[in-house]
Amino acid sequence: MLKENILYKEDLPVNCTVMNLDKYPIHFHNDIEMVFVLQGEVRLKNGYYNYDMKEGDIYILNDREIHSYYGNGMPNVVLILQLSLPYFSRYYEILKNNFFVTDMNGAQDESIERLQELLARIALEELCHEQGYEKRMIELAHNLIGNLIGDFQFFSMEDGKFVNESSKKGNKVQADRLNRIADYMYDNYNRRLTLTEIAEKEHLSIYYLSHFIKEASGLSFQDLLNFIRVEESEKLLLGTDRKIGAISVESGFSAVRYYIKYFIKWFGMHPVDYRNKYTNQVKGRDSAARFTPLSGREIEDLLCLYIEDIFDAAHGDRVQVVAAEFDTEEVMWKKYDLSTNYIALIGLDHMRPISELLDFIGARAEDLMAGAPGYFILESRPGYSMIFYNFSDQLLEASGKYLPQSIVEEEIAGYEKETEFFIKFIGLSGFYRIARCRFTKDALLSGYKHASCEKKPLENREKLIADWSKSPAFSVDTVTVFHGLNIQTKQSGSCVELVLIDPVTGDNN
């Protein structure tokens, strides 16, 4: 069938596949699809236009656009991402009938690099399937949509194709107006639609609206309307047996000769010739998709190249990334000052929630195995314990010094920097239980405030609320590990987290 119904996993409105692509025949769907060429080259047919995509190129298929992909006989690596419009439209009404364009006529800027990073990160989450990956994929997808809305809504027509008009970024009023107009035209293209009708709907003069559409899209109102009509007629040409005259009327043309004229203008051939040439290339009729899903360390390393190269450009100074590998099969190492730093940190007043938990589980400084600013790894035979922390420099440098409670609270409340940790335990295999206990900024502050009020008697209800507010967030999951375990966490503002990693054996059941 010409229309492809995309199936999503339960509670995951995102599909992401990395593949070696031979052929994906003509089809369309009602969701957004993004194509990112990681290696090699592929040809993308989108309606009347063919794009030769090379390594690093990204193309966005907006909902209802007919498209197909073809390899050139050589190996390639292509990332295909699909986003559920019914799900994400609940958060972004602008997504319906939106038109995103990434083609910059060969130019490259930070907006493309941000998309490359986000697509690569989503694919990594899908490939690795680590604890909580579904939530992280959805979060990254929201960030991706935010970038699309911010950077890729504006376009113009050059040499018969739509290209991104980056000079118009940031004009939200113009973007919203263009989206409303395009939305209305797509919903009403199959009837007599006039510029006057849209001008009245937008409360604009005909003269201003005509110039606005021309400036925003590169096409006159009538050319844009006829483009939409012939674009939508492709579904009828390839997906039905209707006669050309009937398709012309159903597409909104007053006469078949006008339909043929504009179809030839955009597609370069008569509608009948187009049907004869491409009908047998429709997916599911006489042509099946041929591709091979890819996974493994080689693909992960390829995706990481895009993340590593552009992280600073994408996030600036607001987010810091701490990434490290810990080989559990090699001789364990310790830096000379690691134990000293650990003892000094745990002794700080604002680390009291974690130090109390470590005392409870019997953790000792002698169990330290690795560490760096932001985390420590301890051996807790037969598993491991990890401490993550995210505080201002003033708090971390206060070792051995007394800080008034007011200063501590001020530092905890005012620190906003985000840190993302990605620690890979090499050499682990089997089933592992991952238990997490996190004290957020609010929990830390609440603990301080209620500690200062301990002398004051509290009513039972007030005491219960006080205990709730200073309690940590707690979660336990069991994961299957093959030759390595990834522990990932993102901390926004002041935060401490304890992670317990234990192998699951018969004794744990």
pLDDT digits (tens, 9 = 90+) for 298-328: 898 899 888 854 333 333 344 566 777 787 7
Residue 260 lies in a domain: yes
* 247: its two tokens: 């398709």
Domain closes at, from 293, 328, 348: 293
Asked if 270 and 48 touch (Cβ cutoff 8 Å), the reply is no
The CA distance from 5 to 231, in Å, is 20
3-state per-residue secondary structure call for 162-210: EEECHHHCCCHHHHHHHHHHHHHHHHHCCCCCCHHHHHHHHCCCHHHHH
Residues 125, 217 within the same domain: no
pLDDT value, residue 311: 38
Report d(CA 47, CA 231) in Å as an integer: 7
Structural domain contains residue 376: yes
Domain that holds residue 261: 179-281
The domain total for the chain is 3
Same-domain pairing of 228 and 362: no
Q: How far apart are CA 477 and CA 460, in angstroms?
A: 33
Rounded to whole angstroms, the maximal C-alpha distance in the chain is 89
Do residue 220 and residue 165 come from a single domain? Answer: no
Same domain, 361 and 223: no
Which CATH number fits the domain that encloses residue 26?
2.60.120.10
As to burial, measured by CB atoms within 10 angstroms (0-12 exposed, 13-18 middle, 19+ buried), residue 378 is buried
- Model confidence pLDDT, tens digit, residues 433-491: 999 999 888 888 887 665 554 455 556 766 676 667 677 888 898 887 766 788 888 88
**pLDDT, position 427:** 81
Q: Which residues of the chain have pLDDT under 50?
A: 309-318, 331-333, 336, 453-454
pLDDT reported for residue 38: 96
pLDDT for 71 equals 94
Both 372 and 483 in one domain: the answer is yes
Name residue 167's amino acid. Answer: S
Position 307 in a domain: no
In a domain, 388, yes or no: yes
Q: What is the pLDDT of residue 399?
A: 61
Residues 327 and 444 grouped into a single domain: yes
In a domain, residue 302? The reply is no
Residues 187, 128 share a domain: no
In a domain, 465, yes or no: yes
My answer on whether 275 and 363 are in the same domain is no
**Residue 153 shares a structural domain with residue 185:** no
Q: Is residue 330 part of a domain?
A: yes
Q: Encode burial over 274-295: b for 16+ CB neighbours within 10 A, e otherwise.
A: bbeebbebbbeeebebebeebe
C-alpha distance from residue 254 to each of 187, 190, 246, 261, 369 (Å): 18, 10, 11, 12, 77
Query: Are residues 51 and 148 part of one domain?
Result: yes
Q: Are residues 371 and 485 in the same domain?
A: yes
Chain position carrying tokens 């007629």? 233
Predicted local distance difference test score (pLDDT) of residue 326: 81
CA angle 217, 59, 178 (to 5 degrees): 25
Shared domain for 373 and 402, answered yes or no, is yes
- Give the N- to C-terminal CA distance of the chain in Å, as an integer: 49
Instruction: Locate 404 and state its tokens.
Output: 């008034």
pLDDT tens readout for residues 66-91: 999 999 999 999 999 999 998 888 88
